Structure 1
Amino acid sequence: MHSGCGLWAQAPFWNVDKVKSLVADRSHPISFFCGGSRNFHRFIDLFDEVFVLNVDLDTLNSRLASRPEDEFGGKPAEREVIVRLHTTQEDTPKNAMSIDATAPLASVVDDIPSKC
């Protein structure tokens, strides 16, 4: 298994060429890309499945409050954008499968492959 997790954790835009390169790499039987990207529309069609980890607004705010300022979402202005996007769902892929991310971590982790 290959994971793209953390490669773009600091930025809301993913490097499209890097995504294409990782998707094209068939040396791993399965790959997961983790995180949100404001430019997902430029590469989402490359993925076999797309999952969105959903939380309620209180949970989101609690998690954002614990982020350090040097991590995306750690600054008040970034939090405002994240909350707006959460509320409007404007940057949520429409055909994604929803995963309840308020559930215990083990349950969330098990839920994703069960839907593949």
Structure 2
Amino acid sequence: MALVWVTGNSGAGKSTVGGALRARGYVALDADDDGFSRWIDRASGEVVVDPPDPVPEGWLDRYGWAIVRERVEVLVEESRSQVAFLCGSAENEADVRDLFDLTVCLVIDEDTLRHRLATRTTNTFGRHPEELAAALKWNPLLQSIYESNGATVIDASRPLAEVVGMVLDAVQELTGAARDCSSDRDGQFRRG
């Protein structure tokens, strides 16, 4: 039916939105936790099996977080009969953009970004000064980049239920299906 890429900066709420979508019965996978992305050496292309945590100074200049096209291609086949969400971000996103029916970019202001990265418990990325600097560098650029690529941009500093509702509204516009705000056991939109 549709494959939706939910992306944004570190701390924008991708994993949280994915969890809320799963709680409503949708197929929502995390590109980080569900094996769609990995660290690679930009120079050699080699996969980094055991990345340092936190990353040392200069590490992010050489290594990048990349999504694996073959994994997304499998998900495309699996999502032909239902709406599925893949939540994450990757520097090589352009390599898989054609596989998604819709891209939703979650954006937040700098204060919210700083707060979320400092207080989140799901992972430590963004607490180290180098990681925080990278997140702060990209944050103001994301909205214009994604708008120019035709993405739906959503202010993710709003309450979670509103953000999830806006994501589902964007999918409804794409598919022409009516969304049911209650938990939908089969994870599909109901025709209205």
Gaps of 5+ in 1: none
Match of 1:75 among 102, 112, 128: 128
Contact 1:49–1:96 under 8 Å retained in 2: yes
For residues 138 and 152 of structure 2, what CA distance do their matches in structure 1 show?
Answer: 18
Gaps of 5+ in 2: 1-25, 40-64, 172-192
Correspondence for 1:113: 168
For residues 75 and 54 of structure 1, what CA distance do their matches in structure 2 show?
Answer: 21
Correspondence for 2:183: none
**Bigger mean CA deviation after superposition, 46-55 or 86-95:** 86-95
Bigger Cα Rg: 2
Contact 1:19–1:43 under 8 Å retained in 2: yes
Deviations 1:28-51 (A, max 9, x none): 511101121111100011111100
Shift, 1:91, TM fit: 9.6
Match of 1:54 among 97, 103, 107: 107
Correspondence for 1:16: 69
Shift, 1:106, TM fit: 0.5
Shift, 1:71, TM fit: 3.2
Correspondence for 1:95: 150
**Bigger mean CA deviation after superposition, 88-97 or 72-81:** 88-97
Greater RCO (Cα-Cα under 8 Å, separation 6 or more): 2
Number of residue pairs the alignment of both structures matches:
116
Match of 1:2 among 14, 17, 27: 27
Correspondence for 2:181: none
Contact 1:2–1:32 under 8 Å retained in 2: yes
Q: Quote the sequence identity (%).
A: 29
RMSD after superposition: 2.6
